[in-house]
Amino acid sequence: MALFSIQGSAVLSLVCGLALTVWAAQWAVGVAESEAWHEFEQAAAIRVLQLDKRLDAYEGVLRGLQGFFAGSVEVDRGEFHRYIDRLELKKRLPGFQVVGFARRVTLAERDAFSDAVRSDRHFLGEGYSGFAVRPPGERPEYLVIEFIEPAQGNEAAMGLDLLSESARRHAAERARATGAAAATAPITLVQETGRQTSFVLMVPIYRNGAPIATTEERQDAFLGVVYAAFRMEDLARGVFGDDAQRFDLAIDDVGRVGTAAGSAADVQPLLHPTASQREASPAPFVSTRLLDFAGRQWRLRIDAAEVPAAVKRGATAVLAGGTLISVLIFALLHSFAGARTRALKLADGMTHELRESEARTRAVLDNTLDAIITIDEQGLIESFNLAAEKLFCYATEEVLGRNVKMLMPAPYTDEHDGYLRAYRQTGVRKIIGIGREVLGKRADGSCFPMELAVTEVIVNDRRRFIGLAHDITERKKMEHLKNEFVATVSHELRTPLTSIRGSLGLLDGGLAGELPTQAKALIGIAANNCDRLVDLINDILDIERIASGRMSFQFATQPLLPLIEQAIEANQGFAVQHEVRIELVARLADEGQARIDADRFLQVLANLLSNAAKFSPSGETVDVSLQRRGDRLRIEVVDRGPGIPEEFRARIFEKFSQADGSTTRAKGGSGLGLSISRALVERMGGEIGFNSEPGHGACFWFELPEIAPLARSAMADSELDGEPASEAPRVLVCEDDGDIAQILSTLLTRAGYQVDHASSAAMARDLLGSRQYAAMTLDIGLPDESGVDLLTSLRAAKGGFQVPVVVVSGSPDLATPALGGALAVVDWLDKPVDAQRLAAALKRAIHGPASRRARILHVEDDADLVHIVAAQFGCLAEIVGARTLSTAREELATRSFDVVILDLVLPDGSGLELLQVIQDLAHPPPVVVFSASDAEMRLDTQQAVAASLVKSRTSNERLVQIVRELTQPAMADEEEIGKRKENLNGDDTKAQPKS
C-alpha cells in the first residue's frame, strides 16, 4: 500500500509537474510575446514621432527662407547662395537633396526671363548660356526653377517648369492658394541617376506688402515657391539609423489630407522593401500608422525583421527546466527588468533626438542676420533669435511669454494690441504683410529706427506672426547727410544763377541797347540752359521738401479753366521749339472749381505739357481737356508719341525714372517731373495716372475733388481791383548780394517804383527810420543779422511794423513759421526771381486798400499760444486775450468782436459753456473752436460753431485763413452764411500738419 502510495504520488507528481510545466511554458511564451509586441510598438511610435519632427524641421528651414524673401526687396542669386551656405544643411539637417527657388513667369515674360538668367554668369558659369524653360512649349504660366543649391550635380533641374508635371503642379497650386506648405505625391527627380522615389516640399512666396487674406489675394500676390527635394530612402535611413536592421519600413502616399480615400490603385509607394525580402522572412509584428504632412497623408507600415530572441529563449527555458519555478520566476523578473531598461533607453534616445532637432532649428535661426521674432495671436513672444537679442539688448528668457509691445516705444506700444484685435475681428491688415519703417526700443529705453516686415503663418491650425526687423540707423544717417548736402549745394547754386539769369534777361530785353543777331542768339542759348539748370535745382529741392513734409501749400477754392488756359499759353513757346501745338479740345460749360494751390497746379500741368511736347512727333498736336467725372474734375493731356513701354510703366512715377536711362538718350530731363507731380496732386487731394498703348501715344490725367466756390466779398474785390497811387511808390530792397540787388532795382525801376538799397540789417533799420516805404523786399541771409530776426524785432518795436514784405531768398522756406505764417509776408519768392511774380506781389502789397482792423477775442489759458496767434495777424487785427471763462464773459459784455477763437479746456470750465453767451448777444460773432480736444460735439453745438480745428493738426496759415474769411463783412443772405460755415468745416478735414 505504501509502495502504491509512493508510486501513485510519483505518477501524480509527474503528471502534475508535466501539466504545470506545459502551462508555464505557454504562459511564459505569451508574456514574452506581449512584452516584445509592446517594445516593438513603442519603438515604432518613437520612430514615427522622430520622422514627424524631422519633417517639421525641414519645413521650418523653408519657412525661414520665406521670411528671408519677405524681409528683402529682391533676392538675387548671390544672396540666396550665401543664405543657404550659412545654414550648412548637409551637416546640420541631413536628408536635403536640393533647395531652390522657382519663380512664377507668364508666357509674355518667358523669353525675357530666360535671357536674364543666361546673362547671369557669376553663379551659373558659361555652361548655362543655353538656359531655357523646360519642357519646351507655350503654356499660360510657368513656375521655373531659377535658384538651386547645391548647383553642382543638380544642373538637370535648372529651368524645369514645376507646372509641367501633374504631381509638382498640384502641390504648387495648393501652396499658392492656401499659403501653407505643400508636399508632392511620389516623384522621381529629374537629376536622379537611379530609381529612388522622392518628394518635393514647397512653401509659397508672395509679393511684399500685398494682402493675402483671401484665396484671390494670394493668387494675385504669388511670386513663386521655395522648395526642397528629398530621397525617401535617405530620409528613412537618417531617422532609423542603426535600427534599420531590426525593422522593415514601407511608406505609401494615400492622397491629399481631407479627401476621400482612393482605391488601391491610387496608392503610390514612397518606400517599400523588396517582395523577396518579405517572402523570405514574414514579419512576426506589424504596425501601421497614418502621418499627415504638408497636405499629404502617408501610411507607414513598420515590420519586425525577425521573432525577438526573448520569445525563443523563454519557451526553451521553460520547457527544459519546468521544475525550477524559482528560476523561472527569476528569469521572468529579469526579463521584465530588461524590458524596462530598454524602454528607458528608447525614451532617452527620443529625447536626445528631439533636443538635437530643436538645436538644429535654433542654429538656423541664430545664424540669420536679421532679427526674427515669432508671436501668437495675443501678441505674446514665442521665439527670439540671437540677432534679436543683439538688436534689442534682451536675453531670450527675458522676453519669452511677454507682449511684443515691450519692444516698441509710444505710440506703437499703445496701438499694437488694438491692431491685433481689429485684425482678428475684421481681417483688415495695418501691419501684417506690410514692410514699413518704425521705431524699436532697446532694454535700456533707447529708441532706434528699424525696417519691419510681418508675415502671417498657420502651423498646426494655429495662427502665428513672424516679424523680421533690421536696424536702419546707418541708412538714416546717410539720408540725413544726403539731404544736408542737397540743400547746401542747391542754395550755393541759386545765388549766382540769380545774377546770371537776371542779367541775361535784362540784356535780352534791350537794357544795353539793340544786340547783334548772333549775340542775341547766344544769349538765348545761355538763358535756356540757365533755365534748365534752375529747373533741375528746383526739382531736387521739391523732391526733398516733399520727402521731409516741408513743402508749403497755399490752398484756395478757384476755377480751373483759367489756370489751364494760362498753362497752355505759358508752355506754347516750349511746344513751338519741338514743332508741336498745344490745344484745349474739351472744356466744361462752367469753369469747374477745386480747392488747390494755384502755383502747384500750374507746376503739375507744366510737367505734363512739357513731357507731351518732347515726345510728340513734329507737326502733331497735344490735346488738353477739362472734364467732369462724378464729383471730381479730370484734366487730361494727350500726345501722339511712341507711348509708354510695358516694362517702364510700374516705375514711371518713381524718382529719376526714364524710359531711356542711357547717357545717349534722345530726350533730356532729370526724371523727377512725374514723381513731383504725383506728390503735388495727392497733396491737393487728387489722383494721377495714365493710359497708353505702345505706338499710339499716351494720355496722362489727374483728378481733383470739385468744390462749390466761395462768394467774394466787396472787400476782397476792392483788394483785387485797387488802383495804384498817383505818386511812384518807394520800395526798399534789402539784399547783401550786389549783383542780385542791381537786378532787383532795375526790374522795379522799370516797373515804375522808386528803389532804395540796403545791404545789411543795420542799413535797413536806418532807411526805415528816415523814410516812408510802400513795400520792402527782404533776403533771409544778411551778413550782420538774419532776416527772420530783423523782421521779428521790427514787429516787436513800439507802434508795430506795417510795411508789406516780400521775401526774396535762395534759402528753402523753413523760416515761414517764425515769420508768422501767411499774413506775415505778402509772398515768398525763390531765387532766381520771377519778375512777373515779383511785380504782382508788390502791386498786391502796395495798392491793396487798408481795411478796418478786425477785433478778435482769443479765449485760451496758454499765454504763449495767444502771443503766437497775435503775431500771425501783426497789425492787421487786434487780439484780445481771455484766460478764463469769467474774463471772456466780461469782455463779451463790454465790447463787440468780429470773431471768437475758443479753447474747450479752460481753468474754470468748458469752453462750450461760452457758446450760449455768444448766441444771446445782439450781434453774435462767428466762433472758431481751436482746441487740443478732438471729441465730437453735439449737433446743436456744431451749428453754433463756424469751424472746428485741432491743435497740432492745423497749420498757422489755416487758422489765419479761416479767421480772415470770417472777419470779412457779413453777407446779407443767411443762406450764403450757412454755405460759408459748411465750406470752412469741410476744408478742415484736410488740414495741414502744424508747421
The listed range with the strongest mean pLDDT (117-126, 312-321, 739-748) is 739-748
Residue 952: its pLDDT value, please?
47
Contact 567, 609 (CB under 8 A): yes
Given a cut of 60, is residue 510 above it in pLDDT? yes
Q: At residue 718, does pLDDT exceed 50?
A: no
CATH 3.40.50.1370 holds for 714-847: no
Question: What does the pLDDT read at residue 327?
Answer: 45
Q: What mean pLDDT comes out for the span 361-381?
A: 77
- In the predicted structure, residue 227 carries a pLDDT above the cut 90: yes
Highest mean pLDDT among 272-276, 385-389, 817-821, 827-831: 385-389
Across 29-33, 762-766, 772-776, 981-985, least confident range: 981-985
Torsion of CA 749, 753, 756, 761, to 10 degrees: -110
The predicted pLDDT at position 717 comes to 39
Is the pLDDT higher at 732 or at 781? 732
Q: What is the SS3 assignment for 165?
A: coil
Q: For domain 556-705, is the CATH number 3.30.365.10?
A: no
Q: What percent of the chain has pLDDT over 90?
A: 13
Residue with cell 508671436: 375
Fold of the domain spanning 371-471: Beta-Lactamase (3.30.450)
384 has a pLDDT exceeding 50:
yes
Q: How far apart are CA 361 and CA 764, in angstroms?
A: 74
Burial (CB count within 10 angstroms: exposed 0-12, middle 13-18, buried 19+), residue 893: exposed
Confidence of residue 241 (pLDDT cuts 50, 70, 90): low
* pLDDT at position 315: 54
- E strands along 161-221, which residues? 182-183, 198-206
Sorting pLDDT into bands at 50, 70 and 90, what band is 621?
A: very high
Question: Of the ranges 171-185, 301-315, 578-592, which one carries the lowest mean pLDDT score?
Answer: 301-315
Q: What is the pLDDT of residue 105?
A: 93
Give the Cα separation of 976 and 327 in Å (integer): 115
For residue 714, pLDDT beyond 50: no
pLDDT digits (tens, 9 = 90+) for 43-80: 777 878 878 888 888 888 888 888 888 877 788 888 88
User: What is the amino acid identity at position 497?
Assistant: L
Higher pLDDT, 547 or 392: 392
Geometric angle at alpha carbon 657, from 651 and 658, rounded to 5°: 110
pLDDT band with cut points at 50, 70 and 90 for residue 102: very high
Beta bridge partners of 231: 198
Q: If pLDDT is split at 50, 70 and 90, which confidence band does 981 have?
A: very low
Enter the C-alpha cell of residue 480. Answer: 540725413
Which of 50, 360, 432 lies closest to 236 in space, CA to CA? 50
Residue range 557-564: mean pLDDT, rounded: 89
CA distance 451 to 238: 39
The pairing of strands 141-149 and 96-106 is antiparallel
pLDDT of residue 636: 94
Mean pLDDT calculated for residue range 168-174: 91
Instruction: Please say whether the structural domain 854-990 has been given the CATH code 3.40.50.300.
Output: no
For residues 636-653, give the mean pLDDT. Answer: 83
Residue 757: predicted pLDDT: 92
pLDDT at 376 over 90: no
CA pair distance 452, 407, nearest whole angstrom: 12
Task: Give dist(CA 143, CA 106) in Å, integer.
Answer: 9
- CB count within 10 Å of CB 259 equals 10
Identify the three-state secondary structure at position 932.
Answer: coil
C-alpha angle 104/107/113, rounded to 5°? 60
Q: Taking a C-beta distance cutoff of 8 angstroms, is the pair 684, 597 a contact? A: yes
pTM beyond cutoff 0.85: no
The answer to whether the CB of 465 falls within 8 A of the CB of 454 is yes
Asked whether residue 264 carries a pLDDT value surpassing 70, the answer given is no
Q: Could you tell me the pLDDT band of residue 994, with boundaries at 50, 70 and 90?
A: very low
Range scoring the smallest mean pLDDT among 134-138, 672-676, 707-711, 923-927: 707-711
Stretch among 143-147, 275-279, 884-888 having the lowest mean pLDDT: 275-279
pLDDT digits (tens, 9 = 90+) for 454-490: 888 887 778 888 888 888 888 888 877 776 776 666 6
For a pLDDT cut of 70, what percent of the chain falls above it?
Answer: 67
| Inter-residue contact 836 to 859 (CB < 8 Å) | no
Residue 258, pLDDT > 80, answer no
Confidence of residue 674 (pLDDT cuts 50, 70, 90): confident
Range among 36-40, 69-73, 352-356, 869-873 rated most confident: 69-73
- 3-class DSSP string for 787-821: HHHHHHHHHHCCCCCCCCEEEEECCCHHHCHHHCC
The yes-or-no answer to whether 556-705 and 714-847 have a common fold is no
Overall size of the chain counted in residues: 995
Within the chain, how many helices (H) and strands (E) appear? Answer: 30, 33
pLDDT at 151: 82
Between residues 776 and 244, the one the model is more confident about: 776
- When pLDDT is cut at 50, 70 and 90, the band that residue 750 belongs to is confident
Per-domain boundaries in the chain: 53-233, 371-471, 476-548, 556-705, 714-847, 854-990
Tell me, rounded to whole angstroms, the distance of Cα 600 from its chain centroid: 26
Mean pLDDT of 709-720: 37
Which of the two residues, 626 and 78, has the higher pLDDT score? Answer: 626
Per-residue pLDDT averaged across 757-774, rounded? 88
Q: Could you report the per-residue pLDDT of 332-358, keeping only the tens digit for each?
A: 545 555 555 666 677 677 777 767 766
CATH 2.30.42.10 fits 53-233, yes or no: no
Q: Where are the alpha helices (DSSP H) in 367-451?
A: 386-392, 396-399, 412-426
The predicted structure's pLDDT at residue 498: 65
Most confident region among 297-306, 699-708, 712-721 by mean pLDDT: 699-708
Residue that has been written with the C-alpha cell 508666357 in this structure:
107
Q: Which distant-in-sequence residues (6+ apart) come within 8 Å of 957 by Cβ?
A: 552, 554, 821, 822, 992, 995
| Sign of the alpha-carbon torsion through 12, 13, 16, 18 | negative
Res 726: pLDDT: 41
Cα R_g (the chain), whole angstroms: 42
CA–CA distance, 304 with 247 (Å, rounded to integer)? 5
**Span 227-251, average pLDDT:** 72
Kindly state the average pLDDT of the residues 98-109: 92
Reported as a single tens digit per residue, the pLDDT across 811-853 is 654 444 444 443 346 666 666 766 667 776 677 666 554 445 7
Per-residue burial over 767-794, b = 16 or more CB atoms within 10 Å of its CB, e = otherwise: bbeeeebbbbbbbbebeeebbbebbbeb
Does a cis peptide bond (omega within 30 degrees of 0) precede residue 135?
Answer: yes
Which pLDDT score, from 0 to 100, does residue 244 have? 52
Residue 226 has pLDDT above 90, yes or no: yes
Q: Contact at 8 Å (CB) between 577 and 531?
A: no
HSE, side-chain direction, 13 A CA sphere, residue 312: 5
What's residue 857's pLDDT?
Answer: 92
- Rounded Cα distance between 989 and 658, Å, is 36
Q: What is the pLDDT of residue 490?
A: 62
The band of 129, judged by pLDDT with boundaries at 50, 70 and 90, is low
Alpha-carbon distance of 404 to 419, in angstroms, equals: 13
Q: From CA 451, how far away is CA 611, in angstroms rounded?
A: 36
Lowest mean per-residue pLDDT among 250-259, 409-418, 871-880: 409-418
Give me the mean pLDDT over the 254-264 stretch.
66
Across the chain, mean pLDDT equals 75
Give residue 710's pLDDT. Answer: 42
For 72, residues 6+ apart whose C-beta sits below 8 A from its C-beta are 79
What pLDDT does residue 637 have? 94
pLDDT tier, 361 (very low <50, low <70, confident <90, very high otherwise): low
